[in-house]
Amino acid sequence: MGTEPGRGEPRRRSLRMMLSSAGRRVSLLRSFRESAAALDVDLTIFASDLTPEWSPACVEADRAVGAPPADSAEFIPAMLDICEREHIGLIVPTIDTELVAYSEARDRFSALGCHVAVSDGALVRMARDKLATARFLASAGLPSPRTFSVEEVLSGEADLPLLAKPRHGSSSRGIMMVHDREQLRTLEEREPYILQELLHGREFTVNVYFDRDGQMHCAIAHERLRVRAGEVEKGVTLRDPALLDLAWQLGGALGGASGALCFQARMDADGRPSIFEINARFGGGYPLVHRAGAHFTRWLLEERLGLTRTAHDRWQDNVLMLRFDDAVFL
């Protein structure tokens, strides 16, 4: 939308974006709206989901569309069709299962004039595989828990007990302590697992932002004071030098990073952090990041629209988030 030609006023910039697999990401959607208003951008938000009528974010969006399962062969062709038909200029993926597909199809979306806010395929595949993540961290010399494949543990290369995690899992699904090898064999029948030494201490998420050129601009940490279903329920931002130094080291080691990423870490009693997971997407605790002044959503809009870039690392320390449930009614 804009003013009529010839009236001497500049046309207002506009953008149609897609929040993909939107689910319950209402706060993320609202953050984009807030950022667009601050930039005086006319933003139309589409939201996709497998069952959009059951998605609060789809209800909150300007337009909602159905999409095939993110791990199906029909997913990318369907999203390409929607983006071409609706003139979508920006896609923001939100769940792990769609990241690889989007990263491999970025050029196909770009040919339609649509930018997908996702990192390179190699980085996304590494972050989706906990064993590959552990090996990447070890090769980069970054502190992380000792990690083993099931085969290594069954062959006696590591002592139990160890923490077992689905190799491609998320949201704390399926995590448990394994005390004997027979228990491990039973787990492996369900899906691939990895095993790690159990870390102790305070748990943190660090959200990091990269521009399209792979330059890191911001690292903002928050302590996960209470977690529910793998997502932070109570958290507080913290400028801890050791933790943030680790974030910038990781940023220097990652190749092909773009947009919003986050990692999980634990800090021992001596203040030494260790990374145990990387997520190549917006973290579930992004509303706290946004409130503290690290406006990743604004920075993505600035890049997509060719506006002056304002990404920075001047976020507010000691901002406390106390989350609560809400609902939409139809």
pLDDT band at 191 (very low <50, low <70, confident <90, very high): confident
pLDDT band at 10 (very low <50, low <70, confident <90, very high): low
Q: What are phi and psi of 287, to 5 degrees?
A: -55, -35
Residue 204 has pLDDT above 70, yes or no: yes
* HSE-up of residue 95 (Cα within 13 Å, Cβ side): 17
Residue 275 has pLDDT above 70, yes or no: yes
The residue with tokens 């998605």 is: 55
Nearest CA to 46 among 5, 81, 13? 81
Q: What is the pLDDT of residues 107-143, one digit of tens each?
A: 999 999 999 999 999 999 999 999 999 999 999 999 9
Task: State whether the Cα torsion 289-295-299-300 is positive or negative.
Answer: positive
pLDDT at 2 (0 to 100): 41
Mean pLDDT of 195-222: 97
CA–CA gap between residue 181 and residue 133 (Å, rounded):
24
pLDDT at 9 (0 to 100): 58
Residues with Cβ within 8 Å of residue 8, at least 6 apart in sequence: none
Q: What is the pLDDT of residues 132-142, one digit of tens each?
A: 999 999 999 99
pLDDT band at 264 (very low <50, low <70, confident <90, very high): very high
pLDDT band at 1 (very low <50, low <70, confident <90, very high): very low
The pLDDT > 70 percentage for the chain reads 96
- Report strand pairing: 42-49 vs 14-20: parallel
The pLDDT > 90 percentage for the chain reads 85
Q: What is the pLDDT of residues 48-66, one digit of tens each?
A: 999 999 999 999 999 999 9
Domains of the chain: 14-118 (3.40.50.20), 124-128+200-322 (3.30.470.20), 146-196 (3.30.1490.20)
Nearest CA to 296 among 309, 285, 307, 311? 311
Residue 190 has pLDDT above 90, yes or no: no
pLDDT band at 4 (very low <50, low <70, confident <90, very high): very low
Single-letter residue type at 67: A
Assign residue 278 a region (left: φ > 0; alpha: ψ between -120 and 50; beta: otherwise): beta
Q: What is the pLDDT of residues 159-184, one digit of tens each?
A: 899 999 999 877 678 889 999 888 88
pLDDT at 3 (0 to 100): 41
pLDDT band at 187 (very low <50, low <70, confident <90, very high): confident
